Amino acid sequence: MIIKVCGMRDAENIRQVEKLGVDWIGFIFYPPSARFVGDAPAYIPSRAKKVGVFVDEPLSGIKDKIEKFQLDALQLHGNETPEFCDELGGIGVKIIKAFPIPPGGFPAVQVLRYEGKCDYFLFDTQTAGYGGSGKKFNWDSLSAYRGDTSFLLSGGISPSDTEEILAFSHPRFAGIDINSGFEDAPAQKNIPSVQTFIEKIKKI
C-alpha cells in the first residue's frame, strides 16, 4: 500500500517523515492553501517520491516546480483536461488526477474521461474549494468505480482510521493520502502519530 504524506514544508519535519518509510511526500503549490510552499525547503526528500500538488497551474509554472523540487509526480486538483494530463505525462513524470466525491455518489462519467491519461486517480471529499476539508466521504460509493486506473484514498484520514482502511477493499485501491489529521499545525506533521499509524498499516 502506498502511503503519501501531503502538505509538507519544513525541512526537518520532511526529513523526519521520510525516515518513517513513507512512499510519497507531497508539496502544495496552490497559494490559498495554508500549506502552500513557495521556495524549496533546505531538505528535499532523497528516497521518498516527491509529488507536486497543483490547481489549474499553467504548464510553465509546473515545469518550473518540477525542476526546483525535483518532482517525480504531479497531483492535479483543478479543471485540468484529459488532454492536458496526457501532455504532462509526456514530460517524464507520473500524473495523479484528483476527483472530489460528492455526497450524491461517484462521478463515474467524469472519471471515465481520464482513463488512460493518468497513472493514478485520487478520490477526495468534495468541498467548496479544493481539498482540505478534514472530512471523509462515503468510501462505499467507490464500488461504482470500475475503471482500470489505480487510486489513492484521501480526505479526512486520521490516526483512528487504521481498521477502516485495512477493511476497505477494491481491486484498484493502491494507497492512502494523509495530511491535516496528523498535524500539530498546518504543514507540521506530528511524527509519533504518523509513525504509529504507519506501523499499524504495514504490520498487517
pLDDT at residue number 195: 97
CATH 3.20.20.70, applies to 2-203:
yes
Q: Which one is predicted more confidently, 204 or 114?
A: 114
**What pLDDT, in 10s, does the model give residues 118-162?**
999 999 998 766 666 678 999 999 999 999 999 999 999 999 999
pLDDT at residue number 130: 66
pTM over 0.85: yes
Give the long-range contacts of residues 17-21, CB within 8 A, separation 24 or more. Answer: 17/48, 17/189, 17/191, 17/194, 18/45, 18/46, 18/47, 18/48, 20/191, 20/194, 20/195, 20/198, 21/198, 21/202
Contact of 98 with 76, CB cutoff 8 Å: yes
Per-residue confidence at 204, pLDDT binned at 50, 70, 90? low
Annotated domain spans of the chain: 2-203
pLDDT at residue number 202: 83
